[in-house]
A = this chain, B = another copy of it.
Amino acid sequence: MVTIRDVAKQSGFSSTTVSIVLNNAPLARYIPAATKKKIERAAQKLGYRPNQFARSLRSKRSHTVGVMIFDMTDPYCTLVLRGIENTLYQASFLPILTDVHNERSRFERYLEMLLDRRIEALIVLANWLFLDINLLGDLEKSSIPTAMIGCELETDSISSVIVDNEIGGRIALEHLYSLGHRKIALIRGPKALTDSLPRWRGIRKCARACGLELDPRLILDLPESRDPMSSFEAGQKLTEDLIRQKRPFTALLAFDDLSAFGAIRALNKAGIRVPEQCSVIGFDDVAPSAFYTPSLTTVRQPMEAMGASAVGIVVDGINAMLEKRDVSATHRKVAPELVVRESTRRLP
């Protein structure tokens, strides 16, 4: 490996000068262009690349950000991850990716590994979070800028980026209501997810505002499962049960896109056509929603933007630490957006 000393030797200057020139340090002002040129040429010729270990050892910087995902197999993650990656790239940071598999021990081990690598910030993608919020304690003592996506903590030391679930719930119901639907089946999320309650609140408030009465016999609950994919099967099963009860409904509002897919499958199997005989709306707008048959009307979370936003927050945090300013946690709640596709239709 070629070191700075090799460049020094090759160029005929000391390693100090080489360092100053190649980093364009403040003192480089004083160094004549001829010297600079010689040094740069030597570095070029030798293919010199500074050793990041040595550099980091002194500067105490890693230019690395930890990304923890609770379950990668959730299609929700993909776009968020792309938003994170893309924004980090622009800021010249590199992400270390870890997938906790919703296991506490794995969370702890990974956190330790990341901290040992001196990550400069941590982004947690709490997409399907079934851990006791005790992990909060572990996170807080890390003392690096931390942002959670998809779950808001009460604490003031961890930033968060979440979608406005209440508005989202309202948008979804409003859409069905405006299409003339009155008998609406509802699939609620597992209570363990922080999204479930506010989303449900938005639905209830909207119903009240519209003067719509929600039939409790049309309200279904997703089971508490650690597996994000489970919501597909559960959505299917709940809908099958509902159909069997013969309680009529003209539309179904699912907790998320996966449970909506499950519902569509169940309706289809029962010979109920979507959207002709029953409208279905989802939540999230994961990638498959656009190419489902029928394509899914849903409430979009701006996932890529949320990833980018989290990076923005922690990069600000990093800069603040470098300048010894201190910033308090930022909590962003982004607006969801209705995406009308083929799975919903006006009631004749």
Contact A268 B293 (CB under 8 A): yes
The reply to whether B85 and A72 contact each other, CB–CB distance below 8 Å, is: yes
Is A118's CB under 8 angstroms from B52's CB?
yes
At the interface, yes or no: A243 with Cβ under 8 Å from chain B?
A: no
| Nearest B residue to A267, CB-CB | B293
CB distance A96 to B94 under 8 Å? yes
The segment out of A32-40, A203-211, A246-254, A257-265 that lies at the interface is A257-265
Q: How far is the CB of A285 from chain B (nearest CB, A)?
A: 13
A126 neighbours in B (Cβ, 8 Å): none
What is the size, in residues, of chain A's interface with B at 8 Å between Cβ atoms? Answer: 54
Q: Report copies per complex.
A: 2
Chain B residues within an 8 Å CB radius of A52: 116-118
What residues of chain B lie closer than 8 Å to A268, measured between beta carbons? 293-294
CB contacts (< 8 Å) of A292 on chain B: these are 261, 288, 292-293
Given A49-B115, A117-B52: A75 and B293 interface contact (C-beta under 8 Å):
no
Instruction: Pick out which of these stretches binds chain B: A17-25, A53-61, A160-168.
Output: A53-61
From B75, B101, B106, B262, give the contact of A78 (CB < 8 A). Answer: B75
Q: Tell me, yes or no, whether A232 is within 8 Å of chain B by CB.
A: yes
Checking B53, B77, B94, B288 against A98 with a beta-carbon cut-off of 8 angstroms, the contacting residue is B94
A140 vs B18: C-alpha distance in the bound complex, in angstroms?
29
Residue of B nearest to A286 (CB): B288
The chain B residue sitting closest to A274, CB to CB, is: B293
A288 to B79, CA, bound (A): 15
Complex Cα–Cα for A229 and B78 (A): 13
In the complex, are the beta carbons of B99 and A288 less than 8 A apart?
A: no
Q: Point out the residue from B261, B291, B294 that lies within 8 Å of A258, measured CB to CB.
A: B291
Q: Is the CB of A73 within 8 A of B293?
A: no
- A97-B97 in contact (CB<8A): yes
**Smallest CB–CB gap between A76 and chain B, Å?**
11
Please name the residue on chain B nearest to A57 by beta carbon.
Answer: B53
| A82 adjacent to chain B (CB < 8 Å) | yes
Minimum CB–CB distance for A341 against chain B, Å: 11
Q: Which of B73, B85, B264 is A97 in contact with, Cβ under 8 Å?
A: B85
A-B contact pairs, 12 of them (CB 8 A): A51-B57, A51-B118, A52-B118, A54-B57, A73-B79, A75-B287, A82-B99, A85-B99, A94-B96, A94-B113, A95-B97, A265-B293
- Closest 5 A-B residue pairs measured CB to CB? A288-B288, A53-B57, A97-B97, A53-B56, A232-B291
Q: A75-B78, A77-B78, A96-B96 are in contact. List 4 more A-B contacts (CB 8 A).
A: A67-B97, A72-B82, A75-B287, A287-B288
